[in-house]
Amino acid sequence: MKKFIQLAIAEAERGLRNGDGGPFGAVIVRAGKIVACVHNEVVKNSDPTAHAEIVAIRAAARKLKKFDLSDCEIYSTCEPCPMCLAAILWARIPRLFFGATRDDAAKIGFDDAKIYDFLAGKISKIPLAKKQVARRECLAPFAKWANLKSKIKY
Amino acid sequence: MKKFIQLAIAEAERGLRNGDGGPFGAVIVRAGKIVACVHNEVVKNSDPTAHAEIVAIRAAARKLKKFDLSDCEIYSTCEPCPMCLAAILWARIPRLFFGATRDDAAKIGFDDAKIYDFLAGKISKIPLAKKQVARRECLAPFAKWANLKSKIKY
């Protein structure tokens, strides 16, 4: 366990040296073997979703050729932000080890804590205007999905 | 506006026909022009993060060669799940139009509402064991980031 979080830290340092993005690393392990060992690539890839955990989940899923990572565990140098935490849940990863906290991330300028507070209903103001449109039409593909015998659930 | 949500619905239908994933589509628009028009690809790409909105954000950011999409708006056939909502916030997209709701998604078997309830503190039980490890060591790259003059913030 100590080995894997240390590898995640080494990735965070590598990303920092390369200017690839924020100082975060993540490792995904399956049956004691590393399947992904990566760092944040938001800047390198011009991809706002390329947090270390998302990059790790995508890499592991690609490598294992499956979207269900329920036989894996994830190590992250920081408590995952809500995007990454939800991604871990969607990937069905059952175990998370993390180092720094959302408040540690906030102290160096990242919005993790703010987004958590918004989702918890602790703050109501976010810079996003939401408007519901065309619900009825959007439900048409939902009804087809519900009736689809061949669907693959995830 | 109506045109863009209709294109998102058409994408949802296309994804459904192809068996690419769940029945969801998303469109990103900048200055009246479409920069991404995509659907959920979780199954097709074996990628648990490939929800329509994430696929759209990644495609738009790649096309525009920037991680800041604050000059864009996003149309989604469904209220974004917490992963996608947080991704929209990280991408700085200021306007969201959506059709169906998290409860509509729950009715056809998706976990959106459950993950929202967990993040809002309404349910405490999720299938994820969390453990904090090596915080002090994980803070070392944070301190370097804080002192880095050349950093690109996102």
pLDDT in tens, A22-42: 999 999 999 999 999 999 999
Q: Average pLDDT of B104-131?
A: 93
Q: Average pLDDT of B104-127?
A: 92
Work out the percent of chain B whose per-residue pLDDT is above 90.
Answer: 92
Would you give the DSSP letter of residue B21?
A: S
Residue A154's nearest CA partner among B79, B12, B108 is B108
Q: Average pLDDT of A62-78?
A: 98
Catalytically annotated residues of B: 53
Residue B48's nearest CA partner among A24, A152, A26, A141 is A152
List A11, A41, A53, A79, catalytic entry: A53
pLDDT at B143 exceeding the cut of 90: yes
8 Å CB contact between A61 and A91:
yes
pLDDT at B129 exceeding the cut of 80: yes
Per-residue pLDDT, A63: 98
Per-residue pLDDT, A124: 85
Q: Beta partners for B39?
A: B25
Instruction: Establish whether A53 is a catalytic residue.
Output: yes
Q: Which two tokens stand for residue A37?
A: 């060992």
* Cα A136 from Cα B2, distance rounded (Å): 13
Lowest mean pLDDT of A85-99, B30-44, B117-131, name the range: B117-131
pLDDT at A148 exceeding the cut of 90: yes
Per-residue pLDDT, A4: 98
Selected residue of A62, A83, A117, A126 to mutate for chain B interface (largest B Cβ count, 10 A): A83
Work out the percent of chain A whose per-residue pLDDT is above 90.
Answer: 92
Per-residue pLDDT, A56: 98
What ipTM was predicted for this assembly? 0.96
pLDDT at B150 exceeding the cut of 90: no
Q: Average pLDDT of B62-68?
A: 97
Name the pLDDT band for B35 (thresholds 50, 70, 90): very high
Residue pointed to by tokens 């449109």: A133
- Please indicate whether, in this complex, the C-beta atoms of A154 and B48 are within 8 angstroms of each other: yes
Of B57, B134, B150, the CB nearest to A48: B57
Angle, alpha carbons B129-B132-B133 (nearest 5°): 125
Q: Please, what is the average pLDDT of chain B? A: 96
pLDDT at A1 exceeding the cut of 80: no
pLDDT at B125 exceeding the cut of 90: no
For residue A74, what is the nearest residue in chain B, using CA coordinates? B130
Question: In residues, how long is chain B?
Answer: 154
Of B96, B100, B144, the CB nearest to A135: B100
pLDDT in tens, A78-124: 999 999 999 999 999 999 999 999 999 999 999 999 999 999 999 98
Q: Average pLDDT of A57-75?
A: 98
